[in-house]
Structures are given as C-alpha cells and as structure tokens.
Amino acid sequence: MKHKPLIIIFSLVVPLLVALLYVTPKISFLEINFLPLLNAIINGTVFFTLIFAVRAIKNGNRKLHQKLIYTSFILSTIFLISYVLHHATHDSVKFGDIDGNGLLSDSENLKVSTFKYFYYFILISHILLSAIIMPLVLVTWSRALKEKFEAHKKIARITFPIWLYVSATGVIVYILISPYY
C-alpha cells in the first residue's frame, strides 16, 4: 500500500483544521471541562510508552516495541481528537489571566513577570514541533509496516526525541496554564 499520499494529506489537513479552531466560533452548548487534564494525562502516558518502546527495541524485544508504539500512536490520536473537541468548545486561556476575563491587566502582567517568556518558549516550541511530528510519525510507522527497518531506524532517531519533547512539553504547558482555567 502506498502511504505517501495519505501522509501528505493528513500532514497538511490536520494542522490546518487545528489552526481553524482558533478563528471559528465555539460550540457553546457543549462544555467538557476535563479535557485539558485528560490531554495532559495522555501526553504523559505517551512520554513513558515511548521511552519503554525504545528500551524494548534496544533489548531486542520487537513485539513489545511494536505494542508500545501502537499504544503511543493510538493515545496520540485520542489526544488529537480530545484537543480538537476542547478547542472547538472553549476559547483559549491566556497565561496570567487570573480573573479569567480574557485580558491581562497591568497587575496580572506583573504577577507573571518574566516567567511568561519561559511559558511562551515552551508553548511555541511545543506547537511548532507538534505540527511536524505527525508526518514524522507517519513516515516512521510506514517504513516499519513496509519492513524497511534500516530506513525506519534512520528516521526514528529523528522522530523519537521530537515526539518525546512534544509529549513532555504538552504536560508542562498544562501545568503552567492550569491555574488560569
């Protein structure tokens, strides 16, 4: 099966649809407030399943590696669905917006001080890398499915640390923004 067309379509359409979430009206009749926490839990779980998957393959346990990667992939897909659902039903939360009015007053800005730069660095790097992780994961997975293991290993060395970073920073972003939900 040729995976390349599907990889290209998903890699272009999904980030575009996610970006549209920020400019389209919210679905107001549905409020699911636990999704950010669920997303953080999913990200944290993906982080650990990826670590265990790499350890499994380094120990020669291909079956366990495969199961853990499938788990990471399925969890990441659930995360994406949950993320879209949350952002389709809720406005974005501003870092430091203590009173929840969507604006940062001078006093709120003072309270977050220069820490907001750390938050925005983590957030922006997370967003940028999450946009490129999908095609990397799909190409890596495709090569494994086609049993092109040398090519799989070559790209997995790039995919793994980025996927790990995206999952870890997803948890960090949640921890940093959660006081403002």
Contact present, 48 and 112 (Cβ < 8 Å): no
Residue 5: CA atoms inside 13 Å, Cβ hemisphere, count? 2
Q: Where are the alpha helices (DSSP H) in 21-148?
A: 35-58, 62-89, 106-112, 115-145
| Domain locations along the chain | 34-180
pLDDT value of position 31: 75
pLDDT digits (tens, 9 = 90+) for 9-57: 999 999 999 999 888 888 877 778 999 999 999 999 999 999 999 999 9
pTM metric for this prediction: 0.91
DSSP string, 102-113: SS--HHHHHHHT
pLDDT digits (tens, 9 = 90+) for 136-159: 999 999 999 999 999 999 999 999
We find that the CATH architecture of domain 34-180 is Up-down Bundle (1.20)
Question: Which residue in 12, 69, 37 sits closest to 178, CA to CA?
Answer: 37
